[in-house]
Amino acid sequence: MPTGFFSTATRLLRLALPSLLLVTLPVTAQGPKPNTGGPLAPPQDRSGQAASIPSDDATPTLTKTDVDSWLDGLIPYGLDAGDIAGAVVVVVKDGKVLTQRGFGYSDMKTRARVDPDNTLFRPGSISKLFTWTAVMQQVQAGKLDLDRDVNDYLDFKIPPAYGKPVTLRNLMTHTAGFEETAKYLISTDPTHVTPLDAALKRAVPARIYAPGSMPAYSNYGASLAGYIVQRVSGEPFAAYVQRHIFAPLGMAHSSFAQPLPANLKPLLAKGYANASGDPQDYEIIPMSPAGALSSSGADMAKFMIAHLSADNPLLDRKTAALMYATANTPIPGLPGMALGFYHEDRNGLTIIGHGGDTDWFHSDLHLYLDKGVGLYLSFNSAGKDAAAHVLRERVFDSFTDRYFPSTAAALPTLATAADHGRLMVGNYVSSRGSVTNWLRIANLIGQPTVALNDDNTITVSALTNAAGLPKRWREVAPWQWQEVGGEDRLGAVVKDGKVMAFAPRGYAPIFLFVPASTGMNWGWIMPVLLAALAVMLVTALGWPIVALVRRRYKYSSGITGRPLMLHRATRATAWIMLIVAAGWMGMIAALSSDVGNFDGRLDGWMRLLQFLSLLGIIGTALAFWNAWVIARNPGKRRLATLWAIIIALSALFLVWLMIDMRTLTLSLNF
């Protein structure tokens, strides 16, 4: 089987899964632990030495005139070059809107311009900030306890696991331990608007980590928190947010309702894959607290101002300080997770934020707590080669360095760089993933690999620069690496001389890269899989070709009876294995091409593939029987016996893989 088959599979997974899971991997930044008081001291490295010194000369002033000029030189070019339809960018400062700008088009056909006051975008997982704010309001009211078993607030049960209950603190730091799920997460069929309780009760994800032990971003967990607010407040979640967040802030162009109310529906920007393509259908998020918000740029400004204000109209000072403080630090030396927000601290500043993606909208929100400044931006298309992701990262980086610059101190490479680099080498998987369903495949294909270079720097295949080349990292503190020629940092957790996890500062602290187990290590599975499928392909194609040649030359092999039956069954098994492999890649392609396919319409195809897989298992047993019969036949050549054994072993490997990847399950949930 050509390697292009697997390149296509990897590409499809990378395209499909991030959008279907409504998660962004937004930029975060290295810095000190946050405080709740005044300006921070310069950040320090692990030795206590200052790691950066704020710049003073020639720093542009954060004014509307300067920001507008800077945006005009960046955003229009980014939209045109990236084939992005439109964008909204909002900056707030000292309790007021500094600037709010619309760029490009909300509707490419009518050429309607983006209006920051009235045009609604879908900020995806930024919706969670409203959910977490609602949770903290109920904590403030004494109706919720962050450290109490969430089952005490529910009318159904999260099954016990690991001897520890799931708490709201776990949900807000994404450490509840839920595995990844995607089915029913997003739809385009208006009839699939599901009550929140029904969406949550349909299938509770398995728990694959002990609570509090591992960050693993969870849309289910955020939605569960929203449902708890609904339960204790006695108000439907969307109505609660409308009454207790939107109304007090005057956010008249915002809603969690799906579909949108009649007065807001005409204001929603069209979503696109690329500006040059067709507009896409309205996206429905059944687990609405995780990502169903629609909001204008002006309304998001009001939300940012509220959270930046010393007199927050949504939360009292004590509760707000609790929400913004670091609650979990997965990688020592890198920014941690607050309650709902994640820290993006850099340049000596405390910065909290969140990002969000649906299939068609891509957004970021950043709050510079020390400066009273907020930045929000959203795009209504991913653009060519995911250009919107690159552009939004560039905006955050450039904005921070332009208006709050700092000069990093030069740190020498440690003498331990080679030894620690060798321990880092290997294949890794994301802690955010699936274990009990076939999405497990996503953690197998395209695994990040760490390599040690000749100069004792390391590279991580998944961490690339703007040119698409792997970044190089040099160790500047124990188990801390600095990007060569850049500002990013990378840190690792090590226990008993073994690397347990690592993450770059450039990713939010909502998942880690952990070493791939032997059974999930693509480094050896890939070549064996290629070989096994190549054997299946030669066997499958050889069957009709040999038959045609024999018919052409009127040659009879002399095989009859049971040996002939086993011979044919083995060849049929090869075809089945190829069809099953292609079928699962087709499933991934279907999910990538149409978000509506997450609504269960592929269940019949999944069952068909599972039925064919069962036939493949039976056929594998017959392939071993065939090899045994051939081996016992003294008239057969050793080459024929060896080939029969290779076929049987290849089929056995594929059976192991389909079982290990959880493609054979009674449940159709994934």
In eight-state DSSP terms, residue 348 is: T
pLDDT band at 43 (very low <50, low <70, confident <90, very high): very low
Distance from C-alpha of 183 to C-alpha of 391, rounded to nearest angstrom:
30
pLDDT at 589: 84
Instruction: Say what percent of the chain tops pLDDT 70.
Output: 90
Amino acid at 148: R
Reading the block at residue 302, the tokens are: 């009001």
Average pLDDT of the residues in 339-345: 97
SS3 of 254-274: the string is EECCCCCCCCCHHHECCEECC
Q: What is the DSSP string of 611-645?
A: HHHHHHHHHHHHHHHHHHHHHH-TTS-HHHHHHHH
Q: What is the pLDDT of residues 275-297, one digit of tens each?
A: 999 999 999 999 999 999 999 99
Does residue 534 carry a pLDDT above 80?
A: yes
Nearest of 651, 649, 655 to residue 610 by alpha carbon: 655
Q: What is the CATH number of domain 417-518?
A: 2.40.128
In eight-state DSSP terms, residue 558 is: -
Domain 4-408 has CATH 3.40.50.970: no
577 φψ region: left (φ > 0), alpha (ψ -120 to 50), beta (else): alpha
Distance from C-alpha of 462 to C-alpha of 445, rounded to nearest angstrom:
12
Higher pLDDT, 551 or 543: 543
Mean pLDDT in the chain? 89
- Please state which of the ranges 7-21, 204-218, 563-577 shows the lowest mean pLDDT: 7-21
Does residue 122 carry a pLDDT above 50?
A: yes
Domain boundaries defined on the chain? 4-408, 417-518, 521-660
Q: What is the pLDDT of residues 344-401, one digit of tens each?
A: 999 999 999 999 999 999 999 999 999 999 999 999 999 999 999 999 999 999 999 9
Q: What is the pLDDT of residues 305-330, one digit of tens each?
A: 999 999 999 999 999 999 999 999 99
Maximum alpha-carbon separation in the chain: 93
Reading the block at residue 81, the tokens are: 């070059």
535 φψ region: left (φ > 0), alpha (ψ -120 to 50), beta (else): alpha
Domain 4-408 matches domain 417-518 at the CATH topology level: no
Higher pLDDT, 463 or 14: 463
Q: Are 29 and 345 in contact (CB under 8 A)?
A: yes
Does residue 556 carry a pLDDT above 80?
A: no
On the CB side of 19, CA atoms within 13 Å amount to 28
Place of tokens 């069957």: 543
pLDDT band at 27 (very low <50, low <70, confident <90, very high): very low
Instruction: Say what percent of the chain tops pLDDT 90.
Output: 77
Distance from C-alpha of 403 to C-alpha of 29, rounded to nearest angstrom:
15
Q: What is the DSSP string of 265-300?
A: GGGBPPBBSSTTS--BPPPB-SSGGGT--EEEHHHH
Distance from C-alpha of 47 to C-alpha of 73, rounded to nearest angstrom:
40
Distance from C-alpha of 363 to C-alpha of 376, rounded to nearest angstrom:
8
Q: What is the pTM of this model?
A: 0.89
Distance from C-alpha of 104 to C-alpha of 86, rounded to nearest angstrom:
4
Distance from C-alpha of 23 to C-alpha of 17, rounded to nearest angstrom:
9
61 burial type by CB count under 10 A (0-12 exposed, 13-18 middle, 19+ buried) = exposed
Nearest of 363, 319, 361 to residue 339 by alpha carbon: 319
240's enclosing H/E stretch is helix 237-241
Distance from C-alpha of 175 to C-alpha of 216, rounded to nearest angstrom:
6
Reading the block at residue 180, the tokens are: 């990844």
